[in-house]
Structure 1
Amino acid sequence: MYNYNLLERLLFPSMYLNIEKLKRTVNGKTIFITGASSGIGEQVAYLLADINVHLILVARREERLATIKEDIEKKTAKVSIFRADLRNAKEMEQLLLFIHQLPNGVDIVISNAGISINRPIKQSLNRYHDFTRTMAINYFAPVQLLLSVIPLLEKNKGQIINISSINVLLLPIPYWAAYQASKSAFDTWFRSAAPELKVMGISTSTLYLPLVRTPMIKPTVSYEKMPAMCPSHVAKIICRSMYTKKKSYRPWWLTFGQWSSLLFRGILEVGMPTMLRRR
């Protein structure tokens, strides 16, 4: 586990995970994880390795998935892996066919796959594909996946855990238009669907996360020295939500950010262009 510095310990306080309660809750269940070859998804898989569960791990890197499967199956959990790029229609179709052929369906879906992109609009004028591919993985793919597995989750009275971002709850900032639009789109869809899913007996949980130290943030050099959560810390929050069924997780300080976004929106919107000109 990454060692937090003093500021990170303040921003991301440790959280107690009741392993025994987790075991009782998920024992014998099938847990489906997208984006499972690294970062948050990988850490969730390893955290569940000593529990009697069936993990369905999905990602693009099959070799990495195979390594994780080999490691985990030395312990208690059973693991199935499926290589798929969720933006590819044919691969998504094959994945959904695989899921529907599972003898016991699915009990928990962890919607974790996604991409991040940081690019000014002026550099995006000839890169419309940046927006379509970001929407494809951050919005269309999870919607398509969930629409297909909702009947399975309804049958098993299951749970959907959405890995989201604090950005969807704050004032949008420059350079992140593609990413913020895609994450906000799925967050809105998921919150809109949540009451209907509850009627079906399906629990929903959303984790509004700050920066997490995963391979996804490496292209943004400025993030190297910024406070960031450790993926194993996030994994504990995800597993804790499996037995608490808490509707959402938000860092304790996010409320102050939301109030600031509301109270100082006018000042920020006026001052932002000036700040950008100085860069």
Structure 2
Amino acid sequence: MSLLLATPLARVRRVVRALTGDPTSPLAGRTVLVTGASSGVGEATARAVAARGATVLLVARRAAELDRVRDAVEAAGGTAYTFVVDLTDGPAVDALVRRVVAEFGPVDHLVNNAGRSIRRSLDLTYDRFHDFERTMAVNYFGPLRLTMGLLPAMRAQKFGHVVNVVTWGVQVKSPKFAAYIASKSALDVFGRIAGRETYRDNVTFTNLRLSLVRTDMVAPTEAYSRVPALTPEQAALKVVRALEERPITVDVLPARLAEIANVVAPRLTDLVFSLADRAFPDSVAARGTGDAERLRSRDGSLG
């Protein structure tokens, strides 16, 4: 079947399944590897894909939390395996790839979900170059190394799909997110280019540009408590749809409009974002004052 028709036909099949009561998902019988699976969007995604009949490989740094997620998946009748890996450890990522391919064969779907978020102004970052290094290590080089390791087997079996969980910030380009959005933009662009090189092998990429999700990662930013946000379960449904339908990009209307405004009226948008930047100051955690350690998210990210 031509990949040009893959996404429209996937949507048609989803409608047909809904109308006929057929619960079968394209994920049934597939192997799905999810990074950052110990909490938040990763955990919710793991539960959702397992419920659709996939074997889910759970990857994260925290063994106890991974075990908890695996037990929950199995209690619901699913199948899951855990792998404790720090994605910033290159040799550990390489070892993970070798083990997974040896034990499970080619991975059918990869969800690059693990990430580090940081919201800090440039004023507070001039002497913190490590903010950029650490963010790139987690958000770009880690998933890049894992993807590159798994791609050969995907291409050899003539099937594979990679979902890069990025951010609507790659379109909006919000102040105070220079380190975070730059790292996610790198992954976004890589996925788009890689998808063109692997197209003839039926290996596709989706860049899932999520809006704000209510997780521990965003907790340190006080302002976020007052704005609408997705739940991890709502975000996971978007991941599942991306896995099933394999679109090139998933985004939201406000981000599309911001992207257009950035092109059509760049200086006007600069003014608007400059005013917004002043209206929403750095968080307590970003300033490093007060009870900053308490405000750190569980994966070490700062708001």
Structure 2, unpaired ranges of 5+: 1-13, 282-303
Identify the range of structure 1 (30-39 vs 71-80) with the bigger mean alpha-carbon deviation: 71-80
Q: Contact between 1:21 and 1:243, CA under 8 Å: does it hold in 2?
A: no
Q: Contact between 1:198 and 1:204, CA under 8 Å: does it hold in 2?
A: no
Number of corresponding residues: 264
Q: How far apart in 1 are the matches of 2:115 and 2:223?
A: 20
Query: Quick one: structure 1 residues 250 and 274, their matched pair in 2 at CA, closer, same or farther if it must change by over 3 Å?
Result: closer
Q: What's 2:50 paired with? A: 49
Q: What's 1:75 paired with? A: 76
Provide TM-score, normalisation by structure 2.
Answer: 0.80
Provide TM-score, normalisation by structure 1.
Answer: 0.86
Identify the range of structure 1 (89-98 vs 149-158) with the bigger mean alpha-carbon deviation: 89-98
The residue type paired with residue 158 of structure 1 is G
Identify the range of structure 1 (148-157 vs 45-54) with the bigger mean alpha-carbon deviation: 45-54
Q: How far apart in 1 are the matches of 2:272 and 2:255?
A: 22
1:184 aligns with 2:182: no
Identify the range of structure 1 (262-271 vs 233-242) with the bigger mean alpha-carbon deviation: 262-271
Deviations 1:46-86 (A, max 9, x none): 11333432110001111011011111112332111011110
Structure 1, unpaired ranges of 5+: 1-14
Q: What's 1:105 paired with? A: 106
1:195 aligns with 2:162: no
Q: Contact between 2:25 and 2:53, CA under 8 Å: does it hold in 1?
A: no
Structure 1 residue matching 2:24: 3-state secondary structure: helix
1:158 aligns with 2:160: yes
Q: How far apart in 2 are the matches of 1:81 and 1:67?
A: 10
Q: Contact between 1:22 and 1:242, CA under 8 Å: does it hold in 2?
A: no
Deviations 1:20-56 (A, max 9, x none): 7773412221100001111111011111333432110
Q: How far apart in 2 are the matches of 1:240 and 1:275?
A: 33
The percentage of aligned residue pairs carrying the same residue is 29
Query: Quick one: structure 1 residues 24 and 121, their matched pair in 2 at CA, closer, same or farther if it must change by over 3 Å?
Result: closer
What is the CA distance between 1:17 and its match in structure 2?
Answer: 11
Query: Quick one: structure 1 residues 17 and 39, their matched pair in 2 at CA, closer, same or farther if it must change by over 3 Å?
Result: farther
Q: What's 1:138 paired with? A: 139
What is the CA distance between 1:272 and its match in structure 2?
Answer: 5.1
Query: Quick one: structure 1 residues 181 and 42, their matched pair in 2 at CA, closer, same or farther if it must change by over 3 Å?
Result: same
Identify the range of structure 1 (108-117 vs 81-90) with the bigger mean alpha-carbon deviation: 81-90
What is the CA distance between 1:98 and its match in structure 2?
Answer: 1.8
Q: How far apart in 1 are the matches of 2:242 and 2:212?
A: 20
What is the CA distance between 1:222 and its match in structure 2?
Answer: 0.9
Q: How far apart in 2 are the matches of 1:274 and 1:74?
A: 50
Q: What's 1:228 paired with? A: 229
The residue type paired with residue 166 of structure 1 is W
The higher relative CO (CA closer than 8 Å, separation ≥ 6) is in 1
Give runs of aligned pairs for residues 3-152 of structure 1, distance below 5 A.
23-152=24-153
The residue type paired with residue 149 of structure 2 is S
Q: Contact between 1:120 and 1:174, CA under 8 Å: does it hold in 2?
A: yes
Q: What's 1:267 paired with? A: 268
Q: How far apart in 2 are the matches of 1:151 and 1:266?
A: 44
Q: How big is the alpha-carbon RMSD for the aligned residues of Structure 1 and Structure 2?
A: 2.4
Give runs of aligned pairs for residues 196-211 of structure 1, distance below 5 A.
196-211=197-212
The residue type paired with residue 261 of structure 2 is S
